[in-house]
Structure 1
Amino acid sequence: MSDPSTAAPAPAAPATLWSPLAVSMFRAIWLASVVSNVGTWMQNVAGVWLVTTLTTSALLVALMQAATSLPAFLLSMPAGALGDLIDRRRLLLVTQGFMGVVAFVLGVLTLSNQVSAFSVLGFTFVLGIGSALNAPVWQTLPAELVPRPILPFAITLNGVSNNIARAIGPALGGLIIAYYSPGYVFLLNGVSFVGTWVVVYRWRRVQPEVSGPAENFAGALRAGLRYVQYSPAIYAVLVRAFAFSFGAAAMWALLSVVTAQRLHLQSGSYGVLLSWLGAGAITGAFLVGRIGRRLNFNQRALLGALVFVGTNVSLALMPTEYGLFPVMFLSGVAWLLTMTAFSTTVQLHVPRWVQARVVSLYMLVFQAGLSLGSIVWGELADRLGLVYSLLGAAGWMLLSLLLALPFPMRAAEDLDLAPAEHWPEPEVHGAVDPDDGPVVVMVEYRVPVAAQPAFRQAVGPLTRLRLRDGALRAGVFADLARPEQITEFFYVATWGEHQRQHHRFTREDQLVEAQVRQFHQGPEPPRVTHFLAFPKTPNVEAPTPPEALPGQQ
Structure 2
Amino acid sequence: MRPGVVSPQSDVRHTPGDAPPPHSTFGSLRIRNYRLFFTGQVISNIGTWMQRIAQDWLVLTLTGSAAAVGITTALQFLPMLVFGLYGGVLVDRLPKRPLLVFTQSAMGATGLALGVLTLTGEVQVWHVYATAFVLGLVTVVDNPARQTFVSEMVGPDQLSNAVSLNSANFQSARLVGPAVAGVLIGAVGSGYAFVFNGLSFVAPIAALLLMRTSELRQVERTPRGRGQLREGLRYVAGRPELLWPIVLVGFIGTFGFNFAIWLTAFTHTVFHSGAQTYGLLNALLAAGSLAGALLAARRGTSRLRMLVAAALVFGLLEIVAALTPSFWLFALVLIPIGMFGLTVNVTANSSIQMATDPAMRGRVMALFMMVFTGGTPIGAPLVGWITDTYGPRVGFAAGGAVSALAAVVIGLILTRIAGLRLRELRASAIWREVVNPEPAHHDSVPSNVAAAATERARSRTPVAA
- TM-score in same-fold range (> 0.5): yes
Q: CA deviation at 1:62?
A: 1.5
Given that 1:273 and 1:324 are in contact with CA atoms closer than 8 Å, whether structure 2 keeps it comes out as no
The reply to whether residue 259 of structure 1 matches residue 274 of structure 2 is no
Instruction: For 1:254, give the aligned amino acid.
Output: W
**Are positions 1:48 and 2:56 aligned together?**
yes
Alignment of 1:68-79 (within 5 A): 68-79=76-87
Seen in structure 2, the aligned counterparts of structure 1 residues 372 and 292 have a Cα distance that, compared at 3 Å, is farther
- Equivalent residues of 2:164, 2:297 under 8 A apart: no
**3-state SS, counterpart of residue 428 of structure 2:** coil
SS in 2 for 1:215: coil
Counterpart amino acid of 1:418? V
SS of residue paired to 2:427: coil
Stretches of structure 1 lacking an aligned partner (at least 5 in a row): 424-442, 444-458, 463-506, 516-553
Q: In structure 2, what is the equivalent of residue 333 of structure 1?
A: 339
Q: Distance in 2 between matches of 1:30 and 1:71?
A: 26
CA distance, structure 1, for counterparts of residue 60 and residue 326 of structure 2: 20
Counterparts in 2 of 1:345 and 1:57: CA distance versus 1, 3 Å: same
Identify unmatched segments of 5+ residues in structure 2: 1-5, 416-421, 456-465
2:165 alignment partner, one of 146, 157, 162: 157
* Aligned equivalents of 2:11, 2:434: Cα separation in 1: 20
TM-score normalized by the length of structure 1: 0.72
More helix by share: 2
Equivalent of 1:398 in 398, 404, 424? 404
Aligned 8 A contact 1:71 1:125 in 2: yes
Identity of aligned residues (%): 28
Structure 1: distance between partners of 2:122 and 2:80: 27
Distance in 2, matches of 1:510 and 1:190, equals 42
CA distance in 1: counterparts of 2:325 and 2:437, whole angstroms = 60
Q: Contact 2:184–2:190 at 8 Å: present in 1 too?
A: yes
Match of 2:380 in 1: 374
Q: Which whole-Å CA distance do the structure 1 matches of 2:15 and 2:41 have between them?
A: 19
Letter of the 1:156 counterpart: S
Q: Distance in 1 between matches of 2:291 and 2:437?
A: 40
- 1:13-24 aligned within 5 A: 13-24=21-32
Q: Max radius of gyration: which structure?
A: 1
Pairwise mapping of residues 403-552 of structure 1 onto structure 2 (< 5 A)?
403-407=410-414, 410-415=425-430, 416-418=433-435, 420=437, 422=439, 508=448
The structural deviation recorded for 1:16 is: 1.5
Structure 1 residue 126: deviation in Å? 1.0
Asked if 1:348 corresponds to 2:384, the answer is no
Gap change, CA 1:187 and 1:398, over 3 Å in 2: same
Structure 1 residues 6 and 12 mapped into 2: Cα distance closer, same or farther (>3 Å)?
closer
Say if 1:250 and 1:377, in contact at 8 Å, map to a contact too: yes
Does structure 1 conserve the Cα–Cα contact (< 8 Å) formed by 2:22 and 2:158?
no
For the structure 1 residues 511 and 48, does the alpha-carbon distance in structure 2 shift closer, same or farther, using more than 3 Å as the test?
closer
TM-score (norm 2): 0.85
State the distance in 2 between where 1:511 and 1:55 align: 52
Distance 1:81 1:7 in 2: 33
Secondary structure of the residue aligned to 2:414 is coil
Aligned residue runs from structure 1 range 230-241, under 5 A: 230-241=238-249
Taking only aligned residues, the RMSD between alpha carbons, in angstroms, comes to 2.9
Distance in 1, Cα, partners of 2:394 & 2:450? 53
Partner of 1:547: none
Q: Distance in 2 between matches of 1:215 and 1:289?
A: 34
Q: Compute the displacement of 1:215 (Å).
A: 3.0
Q: Write the distance in 1 (CA, Å) between the matches of 2:345 and 2:358.
A: 21
Q: For residues 51 and 218 of structure 1, do their structure 2 counterparts lie closer, same or farther at Cα, with a shift above 3 Å needed?
A: farther
2:389 maps to which of 383, 387, 391: 383
Q: Distance in 1 between matches of 2:82 and 2:192?
A: 30
Aligned residues of 2:429 and 2:449 also touching (Cα < 8 A): no
| Total equivalences in the alignment | 431
Q: Please report how far the alpha carbon of residue 277 of structure 1 lies from its aligned counterpart in structure 2 after TM superposition.
A: 1.1
Alignment of 1:192-203 (within 5 A): 192-203=200-211
What corresponds to 1:362 in structure 2?
368
Q: C-alpha distance in 1, partners of 2:163/2:43?
A: 18
Asked whether the 8 Å contact 1:164–1:278 carries over to 2, the reply is: yes
- Deviation per CA, 1:481-527, whole angstroms, max 9, x where unpaired? xxxxxxxxxxxxxxxxxxxxxxxxxx749997xx9xxxxxxxxxxxx
Which residue is 1:307 aligned to?
Answer: 314
CA contact (8 A) 1:313 1:390 kept: no
1:323 aligns with 2:329: yes
**Larger strand proportion, structure 1 or 2?**
1
